[in-house]
Amino acid sequence: IESTIKTHDLSDQIKAATKENHFRAENTQLMLSYQKGQITLQQYKVLLFSLYEIYKALEEELDRNSSHPAVAPIYFPQELARLELLESDLEYFFGQDWEKRVIVPAATQRYKQRLRKIGQENPELLVAHAYTRYLGDLSGGQVLGKITQKSLGLSSKEGLSFFSFPGVSSPNRFKQLYRSRMNSVELTEEEKAAVLEEAVEAFELNIQVFDDLQKMLSIATETDQSRSDVGAARFTASPVLQLAVGLCVALATVGAAMYGM
């Protein structure tokens, strides 16, 4: 059995190792709602905040470790970088002082901290997060971009830059190249096992966000219902609901797209 596993490509191993985690992440009620086009402008704006924080950590750590032997083969900043595109989207919706308005929940902070930690201590584990994020975005970006544009009633693609990959002419061919590069990374068996565990951890971090925010959503809803005779209660709950739903969608985006790769 061990010799059989060794012949498998790392990309195939990650897909197999995260199959169950992906299923749980993809089939949340909120992800299915997103696919049906049930997302508001406020939710999408908060989604961008969360994605910004996560990609800022991921891409800064990839940049810092770009010469690391495990990172160098899968380092494609010109083709894949999302940070500047997210900044453009945030400026479109919030203006030039958008950075003062960034708000994310604790679960997103935990994911960001995990990326910083492995970037400092175990850069080879960034391979798992980069693969999960970027290939998921490439697989689902165009479809999700169209869903978002239609749901929000946007007349142009301004504010939707995150979903576009101007440096990639053929997503399918690029994904093949990326998987080939990743499969060429030389890892010890111990390091490869750690990368597989980290890929599972990436999904678990996503699911933690779902759980965290669904609890927020439940508490806010209960509060709203128990004080339904007070108009102010409903007004207070609304931003919490928007925050919860928006950020669940943010982390679900990649999970839904990943296995279209």
Least confident of 35-39, 100-104, 165-169: 35-39
Domains of the chain in start order, with CATH, are 10-223 (1.20.910.10)
Q: Quick one: pLDDT at residue 232?
A: 43
Instruction: For the beta carbon of residue 249, count every other beta carbon within 10 angstroms.
Output: 26
pLDDT tens string 200-236: 999 888 777 666 655 654 565 566 566 655 544 443 4
Average pLDDT over residues 40-61: 87
Percent of the chain exceeding pLDDT 90 equals: 52
Average pLDDT over the chain, rounded to whole? 81
Average pLDDT over residues 147-167: 93
Q: Quick one: pLDDT at residue 238?
A: 41
The answer to whether 259 is annotated as binding is: no
The answer to whether 15 is annotated as binding is: yes
Percent of the chain exceeding pLDDT 70 equals: 75
The answer to whether 146 is annotated as binding is: no
44 versus 126: the higher-pLDDT residue is 126
Angle between helix axes 136-152 and 41-64 (nearest 10 degrees) is: 160
pLDDT tens string 92-139: 999 999 999 887 888 889 999 999 999 999 999 999 999 988 998 898
Among 47, 23, 37, 36, smallest CA distance to 245 is for 47
pLDDT at 62 over 80: yes
The answer to whether 82 is annotated as binding is: no
Average pLDDT over residues 169-185: 96
Buried b (16+ CB within 10 A) or exposed e, 22-44: beebbebebbebbbeeebebbbb
DSSP string, the chain: -HHHHHHS-HHHHHHHHTHHHHHHHHTSHHHHHHHTT---HHHHHHHHHHHHHHHHHHHHHHHHTTTSTTTGGG--HHHH--HHHHHHHHHHHH-TTGGGG----HHHHHHHHHHHHHHHH-GGGHHHHHIIIIIHHHHHHHHHHHHHHHHHT-SSSTT-GGG--TT-S-HHHHHHHHHHHHHT----HHHHHHHHHHHHHHHHHHHHHHHHHHHHHHHHHHHHHHTTT-HHHHHHHHHHHHHHHHHHHHHHHHHHHHTT-
Of 22-26, 90-94, 146-150, 248-252, where does the model show the most confidence?
90-94
Q: Quick one: pLDDT at residue 102?
A: 86
pLDDT tens string 237-247: 344 444 434 44
Q: Quick one: pLDDT at residue 81?
A: 98
Q: Quick one: pLDDT at residue 144?
A: 85
Predicted TM-score (pTM) above 0.75: yes
Per-residue pLDDT band at 180 (split at 50, 70, 90): very high
Q: Quick one: pLDDT at residue 54?
A: 92
